[in-house]
Structure 1
Amino acid sequence: MSALPPPAQQLIDGKLVAASDGATYPILDPASGSEIGAAPDGTAADVDAAIAAARRAFDESGWSTDRTLRVRCLRQLHAALLENADAFRALTTAEVGMPGFMMGAAGFDVPVDGLRWVTDLAEGYAFETDLGVAAPMGIPSRRTVRREPVGVVAAITPWNVPTQINLAKVGPALAAGCTVVLKPAPDTPWLAAELGRLVAEHTDIPAGVLNVVTPRSNEVASVLSTDPRVDMVSFTGSTAVGRAIMAAAAPTLKKVFLELGGKSAAIALDDADVAAVAGATAFAACIHAGQGCAITTRLIVPRDRYDEAVAVAARTMESIGARDPQDPGAICGPVISAAQRDRVASYLSLAVDEGGTFATGGAVIDRPGFWVQPTVVAGLDNSSRLAQEEIFGPVLVVIAHDGDDDAVRIANDSPYGLSGSVDSASLERATAVAARIRTGTLAVNGGVWFSPDAPFGGYKQSGVGREMGVAGFEEYLETKTLAFPA
């Protein structure tokens, strides 16, 4: 394994600093449970200083108006990320427990390419549009529409794919001309701190434009949602926390972007290769121990092929197993923490209480670190809590359907609407079913939607707004209409 980066520090107003009171908390390797580093336990004073720095940088520096400066600085950051790629990948496996094969996708390569993509977008983006001359109310006027940065953004990110989500927020926000306070999850603060270090040491980004704070306490961090100096909160995480952030931001009417939970459905229609769909869905449910909001964790198959689908899914998961993320062949590593392991275990107990059976798995693994067996649950319908609630572990629930209409009904019978897939021998039929499913992203007959240029986000309780793509960039812009005498 490559050497890990320097110890984590906060970035506040252009300086790499410890917590103001010197306190730290341990960073654990989820594969072993051992301590691999320590993070500054940011204080209320640290968060206040970061907000003040971001406000000052937005109001008083040229960052919000100097597109050339922004593009140059973001290209410097992209180059620094590539130069430090080995250390970033090693840290991702050590801090997150993410298997190495994911580094070519959401672990590192896609988010870093996404930073390049959004920098290119900002370089050529039409921040001003001429509406031409009209005479509203008989007054000849020339009108333009200008897009301007929102202002100070609080970016609050989760632990499952830190570099992907950190850059999916920081990149577009900075490219748009905003300033940012980035607050990562306390389970994975080091990757965010390392991003801050690269900004401080390898770019000309002015002091205060990007700040990184790493408080462990939610109470300390909660001011990011209430402080009137913050113009927007961009949050990825659980639906429950998203509701709390939206409520906290309401008194100051901040703009709020939320990318929240999912319980996505993989549908095999009755003319599909059900075995292939079952195998692919079981594989997906194992990736990174199921710790992905868009992973398909409900497999919806024709009733007369149900037993076959369960058997194939179980065999697939048994062949994958749960392996050390340092193993080049690992697909399913550990879950992030003891708390997350225990949460998944509670759902496994609930599966039995609800009348389900385990075709494979069904238990935690007694070894150092935080491990859960890849699990296929059979015998439950879509009304069960296991089919309705996000588990965030390597757990797949298989549900029977009775035709296309019933499959659509089951897929939509969820508080979430983040992702999903549809497979059929007929592309036309699969597309027609996909059109009826209320989710933000869908894979049809094996298509892949995950890319920097493609908007990602959900319907219903899966969130508000979109990340990535042009839509994700424009989340960080306001619209101003100007009228001049013609």
Structure 2
Amino acid sequence: MSETVIGEARMLIDGKLVDAQSGAVFPNIDPATEQVLGHTADAGPEDMEAAIAAARRAFDETDWATDHAFRRRCIEQLSAAVNEAVEEFRRIDVAELGRPFNFALGSIKSNLAPFSAMAELAETYEYEQSLPGNAGVLQREAIGVVGAILTWNCGFMLWATKVIPALAAGNTVVVRPAPETPWGSTLFGRLVAEKTDIPAGVLNIVTSSNPAVAVALTEDPRVDMITFTGSTKVGKQIMAQAAGSVKKVLLELGGKSANIVLDDGNLQAAVGISVGMICVSSGQACGALSRLLLPRSRYEEGIELAAKMFGGMTLGSPWDEKVGQGPQISVAHRDRIVGLMEKAKEEGARLVVGGAATDDEKGYFIQPTLFADVDPDSTIAQEEVFGPVLVVIPYDDDQDAIRIANNSIYGLFGAVFTEDIERGLDVARRVRTGSVMINGAPLFGIGPFGGYKQSGLGREVGLWGFEEFLEMKGISVPARPAA
């Protein structure tokens, strides 16, 4: 297959596909080869200013927020255009992120449903309800201008869970894609400009390699809300920046999710799902089940099984259909992961498989890595590695497993494997995370997604995610005489 990918270099600002006003561009680097895929407009503060002004004007001066049927039609147009461009999105994902070709399509297709669902919700949602006792009206309305700051590891999904719900709820949006993966978003910009009737200024996409441009978005008082997915460290910075104008913030941050295998659980399935999550995404997924908790009675059996699965994982070019794990996103990220693996060895973890970067001349590759005998308080068990590193921790009984799972600043995701569903539910109820799946039952797209503790604020997906982008207004009226 051809590995040539040509992405959209222009931004979408005020209804037009434009270059940066300065003419500046930045390179889009292929993490598998370290070659330049192409270049993308490198916005400066003046471009972000134009985008925010356009979004503010579109919210204040058009009927986008109140014409629900029109919003539905526009989002349906975009949904149709995205469906037609699925293969182009797939190739961009492989090229700029390094997601294996065989898995990229499934990743995109699994996130198509929210487009049509949000389009329908835009028109059918009950924006006005009666207050109790018929004392007035409870009104929900769009918040205003939303700044959406996207991370690099799951851009298409974030369009489905952030940008489209914000638009469907009647907001105007300024998107700042991660500079590591700009083309997944600029393609949306081209589709909006060429395939939809979305009015100028309603959606703006500003690409930049300069972090100050994102700061301008979070600090601007004309922006009413920020939604962000990324690291907890950056999430805290965004909260501080947004505090000056008391913006609402919706944050989906880091995770160190525990996969609890009870003594009667299906070990093959449990280990397989952790290994799969760790390798297919190169560990670059906030919900990856990166801590595998095994009962002492099955501990060595589980380690042996995990080692075998890791040994069967093929690492290499994401374009190769036999490959199950691609590269890390950048040299800096690869080197950070290597540092954490070295720290794990120093702190006494037993290295079973992997444990280093590969010796490839090009590409940011790390060996699939398995650590056993991991202290629950150690660095490798506490920090989000965001790489292909699985740690195995033994436990004594159900209560001990729950204690270890909750021993984290994070609380995003988790899993329980058991033949006794009631027992699994009891454990899941006591794990302090926003989501828990039992025996691999699919959750994303069905329930709300978001975290406890330092994993974030608010929820995404479905009605829960849609309502995050609405304000609530109570309007009381004097008692009215009976007719």
Q: Report the TM range for the smaller structure's normalisation.
A: over 0.9
Q: Distance in 2 between matches of 1:424 and 1:481?
A: 46
Deviations 1:84-126 (A, max 9, x none): 1111111111111111333344x31122221111112222111
Q: Distance in 2 between matches of 1:173 and 1:226?
A: 19
1:127 aligns with 2:121: no
CA positional deviation for 1:64: 0.8
SS in 1 for 2:12: strand
Q: Select which of 459, 477, 481 maps to 1:484.
A: 477
Query: Could you tell me whether the CA contact under 8 Å between 1:278 and 1:312 is conserved in 2?
Result: yes
1:24 aligns with 2:18: no
Q: Which amino acid aligns with 1:387?
A: A
SS in 2 for 1:39: strand
Q: Which amino acid aligns with 1:395?
A: V
Q: Distance in 1 between matches of 2:169 and 2:278?
A: 35
Query: Could you tell me whether the CA contact under 8 Å between 2:252 and 2:456 is conserved in 1?
Result: yes
Q: Distance in 2 between matches of 1:164 and 1:133?
A: 41
Query: Could you tell me whether the CA contact under 8 Å between 1:7 and 1:37 is conserved in 2?
Result: no
Q: Select which of 363, 369, 377 maps to 1:375.
A: 369
RMSD (Å) for aligned C-alpha atoms: 1.3
What pairs up with 1:385-400 in 2 under 5 angstroms?
A: 385-400=379-394
Q: Residue in 2 aligned with 1:446?
A: 440
Q: Distance in 1 between matches of 2:70 and 2:407?
A: 48
What pairs up with 1:63-212 in 2 under 5 angstroms?
A: 63-105=64-106, 107-131=107-131, 133=133, 142-212=135-205
CA positional deviation for 1:397: 0.3
Q: Select which of 413, 418, 437 maps to 2:412.
A: 418
Residues 158 and 355 of structure 1: CA distance in aligned 2, closer, same or farther (over 3 Å): same
Q: Select which of 241, 247, 250 maps to 2:240.
A: 247
Deviations 1:272-331 (A, max 9, x none): 233442233222211210110001000000113221111111110110131321122332
CA positional deviation for 1:161: 1.0
Q: Distance in 1 between matches of 2:338 and 2:71?
A: 46
Query: Could you tell me whether the CA contact under 8 Å between 1:321 and 1:373 is conserved in 2?
Result: no
Q: Select which of 303, 307, 318 maps to 2:296.
A: 303
Structure 2: give runs of 5+ residues left out of the alignment: none
Q: Distance in 2 between matches of 1:449 and 1:63?
A: 32
CA positional deviation for 1:10: 0.7
Structure 1: give runs of 5+ residues left out of the alignment: 135-141
Tell me the percent identity: 48
Q: Residue in 2 aligned with 1:58?
A: 59
Q: Distance in 1 between matches of 2:268 and 2:86?
A: 38
Q: Distance in 2 between matches of 1:176 and 1:5?
A: 33
Query: Could you tell me whether the CA contact under 8 Å between 1:5 and 1:194 is conserved in 2?
Result: no
Q: Residue in 2 aligned with 1:138?
A: none
Query: Could you tell me whether the CA contact under 8 Å between 1:153 and 1:234 is conserved in 2?
Result: yes
Query: Could you tell me whether the CA contact under 8 Å between 2:435 and 2:451 is conserved in 1?
Result: yes
SS in 2 for 1:289: coil
Deviations 1:151-188 (A, max 9, x none): 00000000001111133211000000000000011100
Q: Which amino acid aligns with 1:420?
A: G
Query: Could you tell me whether the CA contact under 8 Å between 1:44 and 1:221 is conserved in 2?
Result: no
CA positional deviation for 1:229: 0.2
Q: Select which of 372, 386, 401 maps to 1:407.
A: 401
Q: Residue in 2 aligned with 1:317?
A: 310
Q: Distance in 2 between matches of 1:207 and 1:298?
A: 46
SS in 2 for 1:421: strand
Q: Which amino acid aligns with 2:116?
A: R
Residues 143 and 397 of structure 1: CA distance in aligned 2, closer, same or farther (over 3 Å): same
SS in 2 for 1:88: helix
Deviates further, 265-274 or 49-58 = 265-274
Q: Residue in 2 aligned with 1:220?
A: 213
Deviates further, 119-128 or 369-378 = 119-128
1:291 aligns with 2:284: yes
Q: Distance in 2 between matches of 1:16 and 1:30?
A: 27
Q: Distance in 2 between matches of 1:60 and 1:301?
A: 58
Q: Distance in 2 between matches of 1:10 and 1:279?
A: 41
Deviations 1:309-364 (A, max 9, x none): 11111110110131321122332111111111111111111111111121111010
Q: Residue in 2 aligned with 1:238?
A: 231
Q: Which amino acid aligns with 1:469?
A: G
Q: Distance in 2 between matches of 1:124 and 1:166?
A: 21
SS in 1 for 2:8: coil
CA positional deviation for 1:6: 4.6
Query: Could you tell me whether the CA contact under 8 Å between 2:45 and 2:213 is conserved in 1?
Result: yes
Q: Distance in 2 between matches of 1:101 and 1:474?
A: 34
Tell me the TM-score normalized by structure 1.
0.96
1:4 aligns with 2:5: yes
Q: Distance in 1 between matches of 2:8 and 2:168?
A: 28
SS in 2 for 1:315: helix
Deviates further, 354-363 or 390-399 = 354-363
Q: Distance in 1 between matches of 2:473 and 2:102?
A: 44
Runs in 1 of length 4+ with deviation above 4 angstroms? Answer: none
Query: Could you tell me whether the CA contact under 8 Å between 1:184 and 1:214 is conserved in 2?
Result: yes
Residues 350 and 8 of structure 1: CA distance in aligned 2, closer, same or farther (over 3 Å): same
Would you say how many aligned residue pairs link Structure 1 and Structure 2?
477
SS in 2 for 1:147: strand
SS in 2 for 1:320: coil
SS in 1 for 2:55: helix
Q: Distance in 2 between matches of 1:130 and 1:58?
A: 26
Residues 324 and 118 of structure 1: CA distance in aligned 2, closer, same or farther (over 3 Å): same
Q: Distance in 2 between matches of 1:102 and 1:143?
A: 51
1:39 aligns with 2:33: no
Deviates further, 288-297 or 307-316 = 307-316
Query: Could you tell me whether the CA contact under 8 Å between 1:269 and 1:422 is conserved in 2?
Result: yes
SS in 1 for 2:327: coil
Q: Which amino acid aligns with 2:69?
A: T
CA positional deviation for 1:55: 0.3
Tell me the TM-score normalized by structure 2.
0.96
Q: Distance in 1 between matches of 2:333 and 2:159?
A: 21
CA positional deviation for 1:271: 1.7
Q: Distance in 2 between matches of 1:356 and 1:279?
A: 22
Residues 87 and 276 of structure 1: CA distance in aligned 2, closer, same or farther (over 3 Å): closer
Q: Select which of 321, 326, 329 maps to 1:333.
A: 326
